[in-house]
């Protein structure tokens, strides 16, 4: 009888082994790249969340300051029958400590706060408003109207909202604002928002808080 055939295991050729090793190498490279991308995404997500938390804290602090200034205006009005500028409120002792900077301006972290008082009426009988030293106030109108506006200020992390509050107690917000090239956005409203009933002034829209929450 002829001898039984000997079955020897097939050995992969060198080229085949190299191809397998190459595929494994590419697989590990892909896994490492995916892991690095995921880590970078998680870090970005964490930073964005942290930035959002800081921004919201600045916005909330600014809105609280606006309410504090409005309360000081009402207290001043009860004593003097009119609304006043920051130094008027300070002299009357109705403005809380820490709200005025050394130069007499109202401050809040990363925000600039302005008081607006009326100086006249537009041709459509809308009350015209201006910040301190921008125009001479109208004695009759300043007995009835004022507004407080807070806008983002600072080249680093700031808020994305500006706030407006007047003697009616109505709060308006303007969203998507920022500090750009050393200037403030949005511009100060030139008309009394509640009295005029206008919400779009120039390129900026001011939303009553109730409506802003519904969008």
| 105: pLDDT strictly greater than 60 | yes
Structure confidence by residue, pLDDT tens digits, 144-165: 999 999 988 765 556 688 999 9
pLDDT of residue 198: 77
35 belongs to a structural domain: no
What does the alpha-carbon distance between residue 50 and residue 57 come to, in Å, rounded to a whole number? 11
149: containing domain: 48-214
pLDDT of residue 199: 73
| 185: pLDDT strictly greater than 50 | yes
What does the alpha-carbon distance between residue 98 and residue 110 come to, in Å, rounded to a whole number? 15
What does the alpha-carbon distance between residue 112 and residue 117 come to, in Å, rounded to a whole number? 17
| 125: pLDDT strictly greater than 50 | yes
Q: Cβ distance 71 to 63 under 8 Å?
A: no
What would the mean pLDDT of 31-36 be, rounded to a whole number? 71
The two structure tokens encoding residue 30: 């892909």
Residue 139, phi then psi, degrees to nearest 5? -55, -35
What would the mean pLDDT of 36-41 be, rounded to a whole number? 63
Per-residue pLDDT band for 92 (boundaries 50, 70, 90) equals: very high
6 belongs to a structural domain: no
Per-residue pLDDT band for 133 (boundaries 50, 70, 90) equals: confident
Higher per-residue pLDDT: 37 or 139: 139
31 belongs to a structural domain: no
| 136: pLDDT strictly greater than 50 | yes
Q: For the chain, what is the mean pLDDT?
A: 79
| 51: pLDDT strictly greater than 70 | no
| 57: pLDDT strictly greater than 60 | yes
98 belongs to a structural domain: yes
25 belongs to a structural domain: no
pLDDT of residue 215: 44
Per-residue pLDDT band for 115 (boundaries 50, 70, 90) equals: very high
What does the alpha-carbon distance between residue 114 and residue 122 come to, in Å, rounded to a whole number? 21
Looking at the structure of the chain, the number of domains it has is 1
């Amino acid at each position: 009888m002829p001898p039984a055939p000997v079955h020897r295991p097939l050995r992969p050729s060198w080229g085949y082994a190299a191809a397998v090793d190459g595929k494994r190498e590419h697989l590990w490279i892909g896994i490492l790249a995916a892991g690095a991308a995921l880590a970078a995404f998680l870090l970005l997500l964490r930073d964005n969340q942290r930035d959002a938390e800081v921004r919201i804290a600045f916005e909330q602090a600014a809105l609280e300051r606006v309410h504090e200034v409005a309360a000081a205006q009402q207290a001043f009005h009860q004593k003097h029958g009119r609304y006043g500028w920051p130094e008027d409120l300070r002299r009357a002792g109705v403005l809380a400590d820490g709200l005025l900077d050394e130069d007499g301006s109202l401050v809040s972290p990363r925000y600039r706060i302005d008081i607006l008082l009326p100086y006249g009426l537009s041709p459509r009988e809308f009350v015209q408003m201006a910040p301190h030293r921008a125009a001479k106030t109208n004695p009759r109108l300043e007995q009835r109207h004022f507004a407080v506006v807070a806008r983002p200020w600072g080249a680093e992390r700031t808020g994305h909202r500006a706030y407006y509050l007047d003697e009616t107690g109505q709060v308006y917000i303007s969203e998507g604002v920022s500090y750009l090239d050393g200037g403030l956005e949005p511009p100060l409203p030139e008309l009394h928002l509640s009295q005029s009933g206008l919400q779009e002034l120039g390129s900026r829209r001011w939303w009553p808080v109730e409506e802003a929450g519904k969008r």
